[in-house]
Homo-oligomer: A and B are copies of this chain.
C-alpha cells in the first residue's frame, strides 16, 4: 500500500493469522458461524447445480446416473460471489439498506441462482422451483441443461441487471443504476478477469460523474481470485502497493480483505463491509446536509471499495489426480470433470458436497433451516426482489411537453430552413426541465457539437471533478453525461434504463460501432425479458446519431460509416427500430415516439446542419405515423402508375432526390415521377419479418410492381436490398448509398463521390426508364458535365457552388395534406 494511503484499519490485516478486532460489526463468533453456514448452503447449491441431475440432498450414495452427462458450469468464481452476497445480506439487515447486486465475473450463474433461491425470491418467480427437495432437484437439473438456464447470470436471474456473457460492463451498469437513486446501494463485484477489459478499466473513473447528494452509491468489490481461463490476471499479479496506488489514483479508498481461512475472512469482510458502509453514509450525509463543500473544488469524496483476495474455487477440491486445483486456473470451470466415469472423481464430489454439511443447512424437506433463513433480508430488501433490479416495476412515463409546439413553420416544402438537432434540443431542454430526476442524456462530449446546446439552458454536464474558470455548464447534478468513452455512455445508460429510468445516447454515427457488442448484449437482454413474465417493460434505448456519414466531408474517410444500421437490423425484429427523419418536424415527431416506447432499441439518424424543412407539423405527424409514404407534392404521377419511383431515406438522400425531381420537372416535364420517402426503415421489410413491415399489397402500391425504382439511401446500399429482396418489384430497385470511397470533400462533393447526388440520380432515371436513354441523351450529357463542373468548383474554391448548396424546392404550392390539415 502506498504510504499515506487512506486505507488503514481492516486493510492491512491481510496476513495469515492477523487479528482483526470485531470492532464496528458487533458480530461474535456465533454470528459469523451462521454467516458461514449460509455461505456453505449457497456453495452446496452451486455445486449441486453444476453436477447433479438427481439425489440433491445426498440422501443416498451418489451414483453416476445422478450426474449430468455434460458438465458445463463454472465453479471458480462462485464461492467468492456467494461470500459477498452473504455478507451483504447481513449489512442490509443491520442497516435496512436498499441494495442490489451486480455480478461482474462471468459464469457466476450458480452462485446468484443459489442465493436468490435461499432468500426465497427464486421460488416466488419460478414456483416450480420450490423450497423443498423436489424444487432443489429441479433447481439443479435446469442449470446449463437443454431448455434450462445459462451458466452465467442472465435476465432469467432475479435481481440481475447485468448479463454475465460478455464481460466488462458491470461497473458502468452499477453506476448507471446508482444515478438519481439516492437511497440505493449498488454492490458491484468486479472480476479480475473482466477488470482487464477496456470498458471496466475506463469505468472506474465513473466516480467523477456521481453526485453524492442526488445519486446513490456504488460499492465495488474487486474480487481477485487470480485467474482467468488459463492465465493469471493482471491485477492479481502486480504488487499490492501498485494495486492500491492504481485504485487510489482512480479516486477510491481500497479496503483489502485477503485470506483462505473462512473464519478469518468472514471476520475481516464483515468489518470491511461495515467500514465501507460507514464511509459511504458519511460522504452522503456530509453532501446532503450541506456540510461538505460543493463538488468541483478538488475535494471530491473518496469512495470506499473492497479488494477481496480469496482462492479461485475456494472450498472446492484441493487436489485432483495429484494436481493442485483449488486456488489455480484449473478451478475455473468444473474441478472434477470425469465424475460420471471415474469412481474416484465421484467420491471426491460426494466428499466435497458433504464438506458443506448439508444436514446442518437444510431440514428433512430440503428447506433452509429457519435460523439460516432468518439471515436473509425480507420482502423487497432481498437483493433478488429489489424492484430496482426489475426496473420496469418502477418505471413511470416521462412527462413530455407537446412536441408539436416546438415544430418549425413550413409554409411550403423547402420554404424554411432549420438545423434539426438544434430544434430537437429545445424540446429536450424542456423534457429535462419537466423530468428532473428520471431522464438523462449521454454522449462522448458531442452534445454541443451535435447542436443540442439548448439543453444547457435547463441543466449542466454532470461533473464532480475540479472546475476552473471558463468551464461551460458543469455541475454535480447535470442531466448531460459526457465522457470520451462510448462504452461508459452506453453502459451508464443501460444501467439507468434497466433500473427504470429514461435516456438517450447522442453520438457520431461512425463511432457508435464502438459499442456494437454492447448493443448486441442489450438487444439479447430485451429479447429474453419479453419471454419472462415477471420482468416488466423498461424504457427503450434511444440513439441519436447526428454528425452522420454524409456530413463528414472534411473529416474524411475515418469518420464515415453508416454500418450501425446493418448491425442493428441483425437483432431480433421485435426489438429494433430504425428511423431516418428527413427534416426537423419529422425528427421531433419520431423522438417523441421513441421516448414513449418500451423495450426497443431505437436508432434515429438526423442531421445537425441547417437544411430545408419539407413537412409542416401536421404533415410530419401523418408521415411519421405511416412511416413511409408518397410525397404527393413532390410527385407528378397524379395517382396514376408513374414512369419511375424515386425512393429516399435519410435527410441528405431526400434532399438530393428532391433536387433531382426538380431537374426532371424542368427538363422532362412529361415524365411521371413518384417520390416515396421512408422514415421508418423497418416498413420496407415484409410484414412476416418485422412487426412494422408493410404488407406486400401496400408496398406494391407505393413502389409499383414493375417500374424502375431509384432509391437514395443514407447507409450502405445492400441494406435496402436485403430488406426488400422478397418484394415483387425488387429486381427493379436501383439503390444509391454510401460506398467505401472517402477523401476530403465538401458536402456536395461527398454525395457526388458516392453517386448519390441529384445529377447522378437524374442519370439513373434516364438510364432506367425505357426509352429515355435516347430521348434524353442531351440531358444526360448535361448532367455528366454538371458533375464534372461541380467537382472542379470545389477543388478550386474549397466549397460548393452556391447554386447547389443554396438550392431549395421551387414548389410554393402547399400539398394537399397541408391544405386538409388547415
Contacts and interface: CB of A to CB of B under 8 A. Distances in A.
Interface in A725-747: 725, 730, 740, 742-746
Given A524-B558, A570-B566, A744 B484 contact: no
Given A740-B524, A746-B70, A445 B228 contact: yes
Interface centre among A68, A163, A197 (most CB of B within 10 A): A197
A446 B205 contact: no
Contact of A196 (B164, B205, B246, B474): B205
Contact of A798 (B145, B250, B463): B145
Interface stretch (A410-418, A512-520, A620-628): A512-520
Interface stretch (A31-39, A236-244, A433-441, A534-542): A236-244
A298 B246 CA distance: 16
A251 B231 contact: no
Interface in A412-452: 445-449
B448 A229 contact: yes
Contact of A68 (B152, B232, B246, B798): B798
A520 B738 CA distance: 14
Given A196-B202, A511-B166, A798 B70 contact: yes
Interface stretch (A364-372, A549-557, A676-684, A769-777): A549-557
A455 to B, nearest CB: 12
A742 B572 CA distance: 11
Contacts of A446: 229
A254 to B, nearest CB: 10
Given A146-B746, A197-B198, A461-B231, A555 B249 contact: no
Contacts of A461: 231
Interface string A65-82: 000111010000000000
Given A513-B520, A563-B570, A208 B238 contact: yes
Contacts of A725: 721-722, 725, 730
When all copies of this chain in the complex are counted, the total is 2
A3 B3 CA distance: 6
B232 A471 contact: yes
A466 interface: yes
Interface in A136-188: 144-152, 154, 163-168
Nearest to A192: B484
A63 interface: no
Given A70-B554, A147-B743, A154-B558, A445 B165 contact: no
B194 A202 contact: no
Contacts of A233: 484
A750 to B, nearest CB: 9
Contact of A198 (B201, B229, B238, B511): B201
Contacts of A554: 70, 72, 144, 150-151
A102 to B, nearest CB: 16
A122 interface: no
A199 interface: yes
Contacts of A281: none
A487 to B, nearest CB: 4
A248 interface: yes
Contact of A470 (B4, B298, B328): B328
A163 B558 CA distance: 8
13 contacts: A70-B746, A72-B554, A150-B558, A154-B556, A165-B555, A198-B488, A231-B445, A232-B466, A513-B517, A524-B558, A528-B742, A721-B722, A722-B722
Given A147-B795, A197-B198, 17 more contacts: A2-B2, A2-B245, A53-B798, A146-B744, A147-B744, A150-B556, A151-B554, A151-B555, A196-B483, A196-B488, A200-B202, A201-B204, A229-B445, A229-B448, A231-B445, A516-B567, A524-B557
